[in-house]
Amino acid sequence: MKLSATFISNTTAIQCLFQRLVTQYQTMFQKRAFIHWYTGEGMDEQEFCEAERKVMNLIEEYNSCNTQDYDDDPLSDPACQTDDCSSCSQIENSSSLMQSSCSQDTCCE
């Protein structure tokens, strides 16, 4: 007899993953790595910045929820608070990071 299970959870800890993804993206975008493949297929560079901006907004939204919920819930896991999570330490500077990686040529003007 085979059994299967699915666990669905909603947690603000995912913001660390999103922040790490954005940081890696910014590094690659500044080096213009793989951009030619996407632009060759018809994608505009503005779309990269729009996608980055949406992920940064999502991180900020999770961060605001995390701050609100942590004060209300004494059982919350503080492992991914902005001050304690090294991979999330740049969330406060997200807008300046986004501008620095997307300030080239036609992107995000």
Long-range CB pairs of 54-59 (<8 Å, 24+ gap) are 55/18, 55/21, 55/22, 56/22, 56/94, 56/95, 56/97, 56/98, 58/18, 59/15, 59/18, 59/19, 59/22, 59/91, 59/94
- Give per-residue pLDDT as tens, 6-41: 888 878 888 999 999 999 999 999 999 999 999 999
Q: How far apart are CA 42 and CA 39, in angstroms?
A: 5
Q: How far apart are CA 6 and CA 3, in angstroms?
A: 10
Q: What are the boundaries of each domain within the chain?
A: 44-68
pLDDT at residue 57 greater than cutoff 80:
yes
- Give per-residue pLDDT as tens, 65-103: 877 655 555 555 455 444 444 444 444 444 444 444 454
- The mean of the pLDDT values for the chain is 75
- Decide which of 2 and 101 is more confident: 2
